[in-house]
Amino acid sequence: MSSATTSVVTRRDAGDEYVTFCSALRRVCGIDLLQYKRGQMERRIRSFVATRGGGDLVAYAATLRIDKDELEKFLDRVTINVSQLWRNPEQWETLEQQILPDLAATAVVGDRVRAWSAGCSYGAEAYTLAAIARRAIPRAVVTILGTDIDARMVQRARAGVFSAQDARDAPTATLAGHFELTDDGKWHASDELKRLVRFEQGDLLRTEPRAESFDLVLCRNTVIYFNEDVRDALHGRLAASLRAGGRLVVGATERVSDPSRHGLAPESPFVYRKL
């Protein structure tokens, strides 16, 4: 947590049970809900706690500390793990036809393209990127890192297994070429795709990636849940991780509030180029 955020928290009323709950949860699992927009997150939490037969957040925090099964149920409710293969197809079309070929052509070392799926959830974005990279830049050496704060999602991502619902917007031919449909109706990523991706647990609000370590960063449909100052600071760190000419791709409804401050220039409604 930043010093600015800490000072805000310490000035709050010590009797604020939501703040107390969030502080306790951070000690239990490392997730800092105080960085998220309070209104919508507090409603989500209180609604869930009410279904568990209580309403006292401090008492529920004590339960989460000792009951791992209950913690799992709580995290399923409050963490944002909405994803799917080829989510927002128009973005993937732009990546395949324009961005990936340009990044390969202007790579710092040979034809190597280094990508980061930041806030990757259970890996749908990272595997989609791997599949379109095989089509768009088949001769390039592509490496994709996926990170997520939720260890359970990281474990799922490493398995590379997706439901029919996850694949509902995927182009049929490309999907069949890179994923295997099993008898249980699940799509399994090919070994070829798995060789391109790796997944690690990581907190976007604390990570300090090495400068200019990526050619492409995808951080989509994540920052809408963060406070404005937290969002802007994150965009700054993501931009710093890009090499000159690299691209930051945000969600279709998201924007970087002050691109030039982070050394970025808008290239399309959802793509920013590192200057």
pLDDT digits (tens, 9 = 90+) for 47-78: 889 998 878 899 999 999 999 888 888 887 77
Domain assignment present for residue 83? The answer is no
Say if residue 70 is in the same domain as residue 94. no
Domain assignment present for residue 259? The answer is yes
Classify residue 14 by its DSSP letter: T
Domain assignment present for residue 93? The answer is yes
**pLDDT at 96 exceeding the cut of 90:** yes
**pLDDT at 80 exceeding the cut of 90:** no
Say if residue 136 is in the same domain as residue 68. no
What is the distance between the alpha carbons of residues 48 and 53, in angstroms, rounded to a whole number? 9
What share of the chain has pLDDT > 90, as a percent? 64
H or E stretch covering 181: strand 179-181
Q: How many domains does the chain have?
A: 2
What percentage of the chain's residues is helix, strand, coil (to nearest 5)?
50, 20, 30
Say if residue 18 is in the same domain as residue 134. no
Classify residue 37 by its DSSP letter: -
Say if residue 149 is in the same domain as residue 28. no
For residue 189, the enclosing domain spans 89-274
Q: Would you state the pLDDT for residue 167?
A: 95
Domain assignment present for residue 84? The answer is no
Say if residue 63 is in the same domain as residue 110. no
CB 190 within 8 A of CB 178: yes
Tokens coding 198: 């790796």
Q: Would you state the pLDDT for residue 8?
A: 39
pLDDT digits (tens, 9 = 90+) for 228-258: 888 999 999 999 999 999 999 998 888 999 9
Say if residue 31 is in the same domain as residue 60. yes
Given 59, 78, 97, the domain boundary residue is 78
Given 43, 78, 113, the domain boundary residue is 78
Using DSSP's 3-state secondary structure scheme, residue 264 falls into strand
Q: Would you state the pLDDT for residue 10?
A: 38
Say if residue 103 is in the same domain as residue 74. no
More confident call, 217 vs 222: 217
Using DSSP's 3-state secondary structure scheme, residue 147 falls into strand
Say if residue 59 is in the same domain as residue 166. no
Say if residue 211 is in the same domain as residue 264. yes
Whole-number mean pLDDT of the chain?
89
Q: Would you state the pLDDT for residue 54?
A: 78
Question: What is the rounded average pLDDT of the residues 160-168?
Answer: 95
Domain assignment present for residue 142? The answer is yes
- What is the CATH number for 247? 3.40.50.150
pLDDT digits (tens, 9 = 90+) for 191-210: 999 999 999 999 888 888 99
Q: Would you state the pLDDT for residue 6?
A: 38
Say if residue 31 is in the same domain as residue 69. yes
Question: What is the rounded average pLDDT of the residues 168-192?
Answer: 95
State pTM to two decimals: 0.80
Half-sphere exposure of 58 (CA within 13 A, CB side): 6
Say if residue 240 is in the same domain as residue 193. yes
Given 78, 98, 126, the domain boundary residue is 78
